[in-house]
Amino acid sequence: MGDIPSVRQKRILAWLQKTPTLTTEALVDALGVSLMTVHRDLDTLAQAGLVEKVHGGVVLVNPPSVPLAGVCRLCHAPVSARTSFTIQQENGESLEACCAHCGFLLLKDYPAARVLVHDFLYNRILSADQALFLVESEVILCCMPSVLGFTCLHDATRFQRGFGGTVMTFEDTQLYLTAPQTHSHHN
Ligand SMILES: [Zn+2]
Ligand SMILES: [Zn+2]
């Protein structure tokens, strides 16, 4: 059993839903594969933004109550955890967007009580009003123009030096994206 990577990775995710932190040793035992194989599986899951490797183990990035994948309310593209943008409305309903680009466009029609975005570098969830956004950089993960979220100005400007674009606040990004001359299309 254990020799198909995708099957093993699903089992690791299922275990993490029950036990939020697992050691690599426990995974080696439970899966009956080598430590190297476990690390490869964890790297794959980490790259997908589903888990985070910590010293000697792994933790689940998304709390179990947050669905790992849905479709974007605006463009219907699958939502990846890495770029997701969540609008929490006053009535308690949450809307998922595939990325900040679609999320900002959705905000025009769905006023939010709270907006959650992902930090592009660290895959942490943060409140959008505290985030900085790098708009129209060369890194396009989802829709165009690309919008990436960052926790601090320092990270955003360092990233901008390498990949171009403009660093904007939440309000500026919203104005920029919803301005009439902005043409949007899914990548
Ligand atoms: Zn979308
Ligand atoms: Zn998108």
The answer to whether 106 and 87 are in contact (CB under 8 A) is yes
What is the DSSP pairing of strand 114-118 with strand 94-97?
A: unpaired
Question: Domain range holding 30?
Answer: 5-60
Neighbours of ion ligand 1 (CB under 5 A): 72, 74-75, 77, 98, 102
d(CA 82, ligand 2 centre) in Å? 11
Q: How confident is the model at residue 62 (pLDDT cuts 50, 70, 90)?
A: low
d(CA 152, ligand 1 centre) in Å? 25
Q: Are residues 94 and 150 in the same domain?
A: yes
Q: What mean pLDDT comes out for the span 128-137?
A: 94
d(CA 9, ligand 1 centre) in Å? 27
d(CA 49, ligand 2 centre) in Å? 16
Residue 173 lies in a domain: yes
pTM above 0.85, yes or no: no
Model pLDDT, residue 184 = 52
Single out the residue in 27, 43, 60 at which a domain terminates: 60
Alpha carbon 120 to its chain's center: 7
Q: Are residues 42 and 89 in the same domain?
A: no
* Number of folded domains that form the chain: 2
Q: Give the lowest-confidence range in 73-87, 127-141, 173-187.
A: 173-187
More confident residue, 58 or 64: 58
Q: Are residues 49 and 96 in the same domain?
A: no
The answer to whether 149 and 133 are in contact (CB under 8 A) is yes
pLDDT digits (tens, 9 = 90+) for 97-131: 999 999 999 999 998 999 999 898 887 889 998 99
pLDDT digits (tens, 9 = 90+) for 70-101: 889 999 888 888 888 999 998 888 999 999 99
The answer to whether 167 and 132 are in contact (CB under 8 A) is yes
Q: Could you identify the residue written with the tokens 């975005």? A: 117
Model pLDDT, residue 48 = 81
Q: In what order do the strands lie in the sheet with 132-135?
A: 147-150, 132-135, 166-168
Residue 48 lies in a domain: yes
Triad 157, 160, 166: Cα angle to 5° = 90
